[in-house]
Homo-oligomer: A and B are copies of this chain.
Amino acid sequence: MAKGLKVATIGGGSSYTPELIEGFIKRYDEFPLTELWLVDIEAGKEKLEIVGNLAKRMVEKAGLPIEVHLTLDREVALKDADFVTTQFRVGLLEARAKDERIPLKYDVLGQETNGPGGLFKGLRTIPVIIDICNDMERLCPDAWLINFTNPAGMVTEAVLRYTNIEKVIGLCNVPIGIEMGIAKLLEVEHERVHIDFAGLNHMVYGLDVYLDGVSVKEKVIDMLTNPENTSFVKNVKGLGWEPEFIRGLNALTCPYHNYYYKSREMLEKTKKEAEEKGTRAEVVLQLEKELFELYKDPNLNIKPPQLEERGGAYYSDAAVRLITSIYNDKRDIQPVNTRNNGAIASLPDDSAVEVSCIITKEGPKPISIGDLPVAVRGLVQQIKSFERISAEAAVTGDYDKAVLALSINPLTPSDTIAKQIVDEMMEAHKEHLPQFHQ
């Protein structure tokens, strides 16, 4: 580290990169980055150059001594890195489009993280992340791996179980989004609100809510179930929870819970949208095209506001916040995906969980929550089972395990339909699933 701080970003050609750059610029005082290596694969070369050049212009405008390197050589990028961030997408958005379209044919939600889409994204991604970890072991064994790539829970689980990299953190913007939503509901500054989070990635619950350190959970639950707040809640939560359900649960849900506690409505909605305006991947594909056109503009030297529409708000910002807290041993509380280590009683100690942690220079230390509320313990366990069997299938290339993983997923209506979807998706993603096609 003599020569300064080095970050390597795998999938550096992503349209998200300007946000990451903005994050590094904003927090430069606390995190004096020296070298940022944006690395991508041959097929992403053109995008890498477009977004990389924008990155360089942004840094130049900020007047900061950060070197931005663009490369297709992952080893060079990883060598002696202090932090590695991953935001790549095996098979690009075209693959996601298939993840969404194919299950819909069977009247099943694709769901890109904990559904059939997530399974196949995991099957494509996990072998690559394991490769990266093996490289890291040789080239930068002390680096932290900050993974944004979805399904972030499954990927973190796979790194913990199937590689020697222990310094891994999975990151998601969902918890911070919930906190900001609640702050808005309470009409207070975000900084004054704190939520105890526990669960899994995209399956996380807010177990308590504090305003200036004092629990206001009861009040928040009241507000969320008050018919007069309906319009707000509908807006925040999507489809609107039944007050009885939320009062009975006595915990805050995350937007992804709609897939599990509102499966039928979500299926209808998703089918309708897919028909009318395309699946999310298809919409984003178009958005990305437009973004890259903007990025090409040699006069553009800031993050264009249109990027916010792309989704993933706060994502890269959250990442830089996390990195900064590690680097400075800040000991603040952030919800991240890390090894459970007993923090959530009924989940395995060695599994990845998403939980409020103290962020130290030695990594996140989870706050002990005891056990999850009875009502949510089952679904969380089920998604963990799904993640574990999926990761196992990804690593072993065991076809039976892939069918099993999808059969036990709560979104799948039967083993037979699971098998049909797996068969069709295995074929459609053949190119990116070498472990199943030998």
The chain A residues found within 8 Å of chain B, CB to CB, are 208, 210, 212-215, 241-242, 244-245, 247-249, 261-265, 328-329, 331-333, 340-346, 349, 358, 360-362, 365-371, 374-379, 381-386, 388-389, 398-401, 403-405, 407-408, 410, 413-419
Contacts and interface: CB of A to CB of B under 8 A. Distances in A.
A245 B414 CA distance: 10
B419 A244 contact: yes
A343 B264 CA distance: 37
Contact of A361 (B214, B349, B370): B214
A245 B418 contact: yes
Contact of A385 (B345, B368, B376, B400): B376
B381 A368 contact: no
Contacts of A377: 381, 384-385
Contacts of A329: 210, 212-213
B248 A400 contact: yes
Given A210-B361, A415-B262, A349 B370 contact: yes
A400 B265 contact: no
A245 B398 CA distance: 12
Contact of A331 (B332, B362, B404): B332
Contacts of A415: 241-242, 244-245, 261-262
12 contacts: A213-B360, A214-B362, A244-B403, A248-B404, A261-B407, A263-B413, A265-B413, A331-B331, A346-B346, A378-B378, A378-B384, A379-B382
A413 to B, nearest CB: 4
A382 B382 CA distance: 7
Nearest to A400: B248
A386 B381 contact: no
A341 B368 contact: yes
A351 to B, nearest CB: 10
A337 to B, nearest CB: 14
A367 B151 CA distance: 27
Given A242-B415, A385-B378, A401 B248 contact: yes
Given A242-B418, A248-B404, A403-B245, A368 B386 contact: no
A134 to B, nearest CB: 24
Contacts of A241: 415
Contacts of A388: 374
A375 B408 contact: yes
B342 A368 contact: yes
Contacts of A215: 362
A213 B362 contact: yes
A386 to B, nearest CB: 7
Contact of A414 (B248, B264, B398): B264
A244 B385 contact: no
A339 to B, nearest CB: 9
A333 B362 contact: no
A367 B370 contact: no
A416 B242 contact: yes
Contact of A261 (B345, B379, B414): B414
B361 A400 contact: no
Given A213-B362, A262-B415, A360-B213, A242 B403 contact: yes
A84 B110 CA distance: 51
A308 to B, nearest CB: 30
A72 to B, nearest CB: 34
A183 to B, nearest CB: 16
Nearest to A267: B413
A241 to B, nearest CB: 6
A109 to B, nearest CB: 11
A433 to B, nearest CB: 16
Nearest to A365: B367
